[in-house]
């Protein structure tokens, strides 16, 4: 490997990390360094949020320890057979960079992943050592997200949870068939086993903290995972079902969906074109429907067409158009679960409706103040002064309520 300075390594290893979508820092406990103790905080003002050229949030220092790897996953730019420029940070370099960026208020924490060098255990040791030095040597109180390696010794993976706010283990692909075809060195059962162990350790950590305040925190931000979308044949329906199984089995905080990007020197088994980014967005919307709107995975799947979520309308509207017999919903009488099914009304709007209707009848104007477009909500609701006669049954309802495609104005404020 040619001698590179820190800046060159950073350019290579931050770029290599951009394919990882999991960059949210939600769900962590609050720490700060008020009173002159420690460095950093997981809350407070002045945190810079940056966006990579493809629009992904990189508010954390998001890097790989190295982009060299002994594995050869077809979809990965860092795979053994890839012809990319390689670089590797030392543990001390990552620690130094994190502290320097943090003190300059460029970042709110560190997201650290790595290709696998020498062995899974060796790589995991290095990742844990970065987090250990930050916490134990420098009293770093900012956010740390560590990617863990499912093949590594469970004790090492456990240590990651003692230092990191959040840990993640990528399932990579939605189906077992996709994993064996595109990442033959990875083992789906091992990945799930590591996630199960992590869930057990997180639960134990929480129990211990409930009993003893002095018990160490263990991955307070929980665990997450990432699925690559569009590299194999898995449909949106397959992905939705798989994600909900993962949430149920391993109590995940988040499943991230990352639209597969064609990479330089791509393997011939990969599709030539990336899936539309909108597909990733629709999957996130369906994820929210299941987590916050009371939809069951099979209901989201029922909203698909041949297994795929429509791209021109959101999944909630797609479901409403397919199951019109559930509408119109009476805004003044329906329960929360039914209100949450109305396209165009979010959880906050529903909360406001439930509060306001205790005091008076809700009118169409009231609902208009809670939504972006009352024209799109109207066919699905009944209010004190509105009932959509035959509107819900119209054959052209989809055209009436689908958002119009607009040419974005480059110079709009």
Structure tokens at 262: 């064609």
Strand, helix or coil for residue 305: strand
Looking at the Cβ atoms of 226 and 383, the one nearer to ligand SF4 is 226
| Whole-angstrom distance, CA of residue 286 vs CA of residue 307 | 13
List the one residue out of 26, 20, 21, 23 whose CA is nearest residue 42: 26
345 vs 332, 336, 366, CA distance in Å?
Answer: 14, 11, 12
| Whole-angstrom distance, CA of residue 108 vs CA of residue 223 | 19
| Whole-angstrom distance, CA of residue 94 vs CA of residue 115 | 15
Q: How far is the CB of 111 from ligand SF4 (least distance, A)?
A: 15
248 vs 12, 189, 243, 372, CA distance in Å?
Answer: 37, 16, 9, 33
List the one residue out of 128, 186, 194 whose CA is nearest residue 156: 128
Looking at the Cβ atoms of 73 and 339, the one nearer to ligand SF4 is 73
Looking at the Cβ atoms of 68 and 304, the one nearer to ligand SF4 is 68
Q: How far is the CB of 115 from ligand SF4 (least distance, A)?
A: 4
Q: How far is the CB of 353 from ligand SF4 (least distance, A)?
A: 46
Q: How far is the CB of 69 from ligand SF4 (least distance, A)?
A: 3
Q: Give the Cα-Cα-Cα angle 156, 160, 163 (nearest 5 degrees).
A: 135
Looking at the Cβ atoms of 72 and 93, the one nearer to ligand SF4 is 72
Structure tokens at 164: 């990191």
Looking at the Cβ atoms of 73 and 300, the one nearer to ligand SF4 is 73
Q: How far is the CB of 107 from ligand SF4 (least distance, A)?
A: 22
Q: How far is the CB of 147 from ligand SF4 (least distance, A)?
A: 9
Looking at the Cβ atoms of 270 and 382, the one nearer to ligand SF4 is 270
| Whole-angstrom distance, CA of residue 317 vs CA of residue 401 | 9
Looking at the Cβ atoms of 175 and 383, the one nearer to ligand SF4 is 175
Looking at the Cβ atoms of 73 and 367, the one nearer to ligand SF4 is 73
| Whole-angstrom distance, CA of residue 246 vs CA of residue 45 | 34
Q: Is the dihedral of CA 213, 214, 216, 221 positive or negative?
A: positive
Class of residue 37 by CB neighbours under 10 A (exposed 0-12, middle 13-18, buried 19+) = exposed
Can you spell out the DSSP letters for 152-175? S-HHHHHHHHHH-SEEE---BSSS
Looking at the Cβ atoms of 141 and 186, the one nearer to ligand SF4 is 186
Q: How far is the CB of 66 from ligand SF4 (least distance, A)?
A: 9
Looking at the Cβ atoms of 28 and 175, the one nearer to ligand SF4 is 175
Q: How far is the CB of 162 from ligand SF4 (least distance, A)?
A: 23
Q: Give the Cα-Cα-Cα angle 236, 241, 247 (nearest 5 degrees).
A: 125
Residues that bind ligand SF4 (CB under 6 A): 69, 71, 73, 76, 78-79, 115-116, 183
392 vs 12, 382, 401, 403, CA distance in Å?
Answer: 54, 11, 11, 17
Looking at the Cβ atoms of 62 and 378, the one nearer to ligand SF4 is 62
Q: How far is the CB of 154 from ligand SF4 (least distance, A)?
A: 18
Report whether 314 contacts 344 (CB < 8 A).
Answer: no
Q: How far is the CB of 116 from ligand SF4 (least distance, A)?
A: 5
Can you spell out the DSSP letters for 92-122? HHHHHHHHHHHHTTS-SEEEEE----S-HHH
| Whole-angstrom distance, CA of residue 349 vs CA of residue 292 | 13
| Whole-angstrom distance, CA of residue 61 vs CA of residue 63 | 6
Q: How far is the CB of 132 from ligand SF4 (least distance, A)?
A: 22
């Amino acid at each position: 490997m040619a001698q590179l300075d820190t800046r060159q390594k950073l350019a290579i290893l931050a770029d290599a990390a951009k394919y990882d979508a999991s960059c949210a820092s939600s769900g962590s406990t609050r720490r700060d360094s008020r009173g002159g103790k420690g460095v950093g905080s997981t809350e407070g003002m002045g945190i810079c949020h940056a966006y990579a050229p493809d629009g992904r949030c990189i508010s954390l220092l998001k890097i790989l320890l190295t982009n060299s790897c002994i594995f050869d996953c077809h979809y990965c730019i860092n795979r053994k057979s890839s012809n990319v420029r390689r670089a590797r940070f030392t543990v001390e370099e990552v620690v130094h960079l994190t502290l320097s960026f943090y003190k300059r208020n460029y970042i709110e924490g560190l997201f650290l992943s790595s290709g696998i060098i020498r062995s899974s255990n060796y790589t995991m040791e290095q990742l844990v050592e970065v987090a250990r030095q930050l916490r134990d040597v420098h009293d770093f109180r900012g956010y740390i997200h560590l990617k863990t390696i499912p093949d590594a010794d469970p004790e090492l993976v456990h240590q990651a949870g003692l230092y990191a706010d959040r840990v993640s283990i990528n399932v990579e692909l939605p189906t077992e068939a996709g994993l064996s075809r595109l990442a033959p060195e990875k083992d789906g059962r091992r990945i799930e086993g590591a996630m199960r162990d992590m869930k057990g350790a997180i639960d134990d950590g929480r129990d211990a903290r409930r009993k003893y305040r002095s018990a160490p925190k263990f991955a307070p931000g929980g665990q997450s995972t990432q699925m690559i979308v569009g590299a194999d044949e898995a449909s949106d329906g397959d992905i939705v079902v798989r994600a909900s199984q993962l949430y149920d089995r391993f109590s995940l905080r988040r499943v991230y969906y990352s639209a597969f990007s064609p990479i330089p020197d791509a393997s011939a088994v990969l599709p030539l074109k990336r899936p539309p980014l909108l597909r990733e967005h629709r999957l996130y919307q369906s994820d929210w429907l299941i987590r916050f709107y009371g939809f069951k995975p099979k209901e989201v799947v029922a909203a698909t067409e041949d297994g795929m979520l429509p791209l021109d309308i959101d999944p909630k509207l797609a479901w409403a158009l397919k199951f019109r017999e559930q509408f119109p919903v009476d805004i003044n009488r329906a329960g929360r679960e039914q209100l949450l099914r109305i396209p165009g009304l979010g959880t906050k709007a529903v909360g406001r409706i439930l509060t306001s209707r205790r005091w008076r009848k809700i009118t169409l104007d009231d609902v208009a103040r809670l939504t972006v477009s009352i024209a799109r909500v109207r066919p699905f609701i009944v209010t004190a002064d509105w009932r959509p006669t035959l509107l819900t049954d119209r054959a052209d309802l989809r055209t009436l309520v689908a958002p119009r495609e607009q040419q974005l104005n480059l110079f709009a404020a």
